[in-house]
Structures are given as C-alpha cells and as structure tokens.
Amino acid sequence: MELNSRHSQKGEDEDRLSMLPDDVLLSILGRVDIATAARTSAVSTRWKHLPWLLRELTIDVKDFLPTPHPNPVEAQHMDAAMASLTKAIRSLLGSPQREATIITRRLQLKLYLVNGYSDAVGPLLAEAIGTGSLKDLDLAILDEKEPVDCTSECMLHQACIVDGFFSACPSVIHCLTGLSLDNVCFAEWDMQHLLLDCCKQLRRLFLSNCDMGMFSAWKIQAPGSHLEVLEVGCCCLGKLEVLNLPKLERLCWDGWICPNAPLSLGVVPSLTELQLLCPANVTFQGFNLSDNLWLRPEGKQLCSVLSRLRKLSLLDIFIEFDLLWMMVLLEAALSVEMFDVEIWEHPCIVDTEGRRQSYGERTSPWK
C-alpha cells in the first residue's frame, strides 16, 4: 500500500512538471550545463524538443571531461571532450527546429583547438552565423598549460592555431562579442588588427599570458571599437598604451612583470573601474609618480582621464610605503565610490628575508 502511494505521488509530480509551459521549462534548462540538458531531453518526450529552443546556450568543453576533472587534463581527455562538444554543436545549431521560425541565439563557447577540431567546429559556427541563428558569440579558446610551462615556441604555435581558425572562418571573428585567449604570442601577427580591427562587435576581451614578444609594447588605437572590458593577466607586455578606447569601462591588469611603468591611458572617457596588481620583486626598480606616471598628463588634467572612474583597486602595496602618492589619483578621480587598497604583508613580518628578497633595502616608493 505504501509502495503504491509512493508511485502515485511520483506520477503526480511528473505530471505536474510536464504541465508547465515551455518558457518555464526552458528557464530550468537554461540553468544547467548543456550535457545535462541533452540527457534530460533523451529520457523524456515532454522535454525532447526543448534544448533546441534555448536562446542562450553555454557549451563548455570541461563539462564533457571525466568527473571529477583530471588534473592535469591529458591529451586523450581533451580529444574525447572535443568530440562530444563538436557533436553537441552540430546537434544544437544544425538540427531543424520544431517551429518554422529561426531562433536567434547567443552562444557562450569554451573549447580546445586540438587535433584538427577547429576544422570541424569553425564551419558549424559559420553556417549558424550565415543562417542568422547565431549573432552573438562569446568564445574562449582554452589551453591547459600553466604560464610558467609555456615556451616561446608553444605560444607561437597557439597563435598560429588561433589565427588559422579565424582566417578559415572570418564570419566567426566578425560575430564575436567576447573573446578569451590563453598562452598566445602574437610576435608574427598584428595583435591590434586581429583582436580589435577585425572583431568589430567585441565588447569583452580577456588575455592570459599573451603578448607580442617579450616586453613588446601594445598600443591600442581603436576609436571605433565597442570594447567595454579589457582584462590582462600575467602578460609580458613592455607597456600597454591605451591611446583611444572610447567605450572602455573596466580595465584590469593582473600581474605585470615589466620593469617600468606599465600603463598609459589616453582617451578613455567611459572608464569606471581600474584594477592593477603588481607582483614586484627585487629587480623591479619602481618609478616616481612625477617622472614616469602611467597616467599622462598629470595634475588637474588627470580629471579628464579618470572623470568617470567609480572603482579603483590597488593591490599588493608594500606596508612601509608612503601612500600619500595615491592622493593624486583620488583627487583626479572625484567620482570614485569604491576604493580598495590591499597591503602586501602584515606589520609583524615586515623585517623578514622574504621582504628583503621582494623589495631589497627599499623602505618607500621614492627610494
């Protein structure tokens, strides 16, 4: 009797769920990864057509890796995951819809460009773009190597793969609204042209361990760019000169290792958030604010550069440094609402061997 009651209750719950309209069920599916959504559609006739009606798709190659994720991710795991990802893209973007109308989608895609899969994925994306079913692509090209393990040859090879992928399917690069790259050296390619001139719809750009050759300067002159977010992490750039990015709102540089002032800002009237993190060591000579400032021109004219800044983060500041120099930034950025300063070490451990290795005998930013 109790068993029958349980079965009856289970059936009622299933019927109640099946009675929900498509938009509610789509909202539920939109909160799970695509692998789960595909499995759901396979076990229920009521849910069978729903994944093909999703307007926002997130397809992450790591969802197709074994669980728990192997660390490190071996080549055979990448290959198997990319095979499943390619099958999912072909199914979701290439299958005929239940309805006659074409559904315009936004796709967030994370993948490995290994073993020739770029030749399979690229045409599928290009076809979806050509039919109008895909107009917004947020693409992350992943690489499992840690920056410290990447040689110049590895980074040049990764750049060649990225360039080949976009060159073979130019419609893909024109559709990009977001792009994330790991371990790419553009020493033999025009970084400005590939990432900004060609990506005319790009609004978010994330670069990890990417450069143009060791300590080369990257000058960004893109008055027509739609770029709103630029995040740079562990990139060996000699300097980043943002000459003109009129719609840039957020700029984050995490872990510059160049020996001089790393950043120069020009026309950035929309900038509201600036975050700089520096892993300085004993070879870093520092710079005087008045001699080599990353914001030019100085003084009252800084107001034009930082007039809309709402959030300012300065991290890993040595505890003995005189922080009065930050007043220059605060006086210029009168609209700052969030000001974050993080000290590199605790007062109790100032005089340690680790401190001397990181800062030598310097006790202030002026010495």
Give the contacts of 235 (CB within 8 A, at least 6 positions apart).
207, 208, 209, 210, 211, 253, 256
Longest dimension (CA), the chain: 86
Residues 190 and 156 in one domain: yes
d(CA 209, CA 235): 4
* Structure confidence by residue, pLDDT tens digits, 348-360: 544 555 545 444 4
Q: What are phi and psi of 221, to 5 degrees?
A: -125, 90
Residue 160's pLDDT is 94
- Structural domain including 25 reads 19-54
Q: Does 185 reside within a domain?
A: yes
- Same domain? For 271 and 178 the reply is yes
3-state secondary structure of 187: coil
- Planar angle of CA 165, 34, 71, nearest 5 degrees: 70
Give the count of domains, the chain: 2
Task: Indicate if 199 and 269 belong to the same structural domain.
Answer: yes
Establish if 126 belongs to a structural domain: yes
pTM recorded for the entire structure:
0.75
314/321: higher pLDDT: 314
Strand order in the sheet with 204-208: 56-60, 105-111, 134-141, 176-182, 204-208, 229-233, 250-254, 273-277, 311-317, 338-343
Whether residues 106 and 23 share a domain: the answer is: no
Looking at the fold, whether 244 and 209 belong to one and the same domain comes out as: yes
Q: Tell whether 1 is covered by a domain.
A: no
What's the pLDDT at 335? 84
How many residues are given for the chain? Answer: 367
In this prediction, residue 280 carries a pLDDT of 53
Average pLDDT rounded to a whole number, residues 293-310? 59
**169-212 pLDDT, tens digit each:** 999 999 999 999 999 999 888 888 889 999 999 999 999 999 99
Same domain, 43 and 89: no
Among the ranges 240-254, 267-281, 308-322, which has the highest mean pLDDT value?
Answer: 240-254
Residue 200 and residue 264 share a domain = yes
State the average pLDDT for the chain: 78
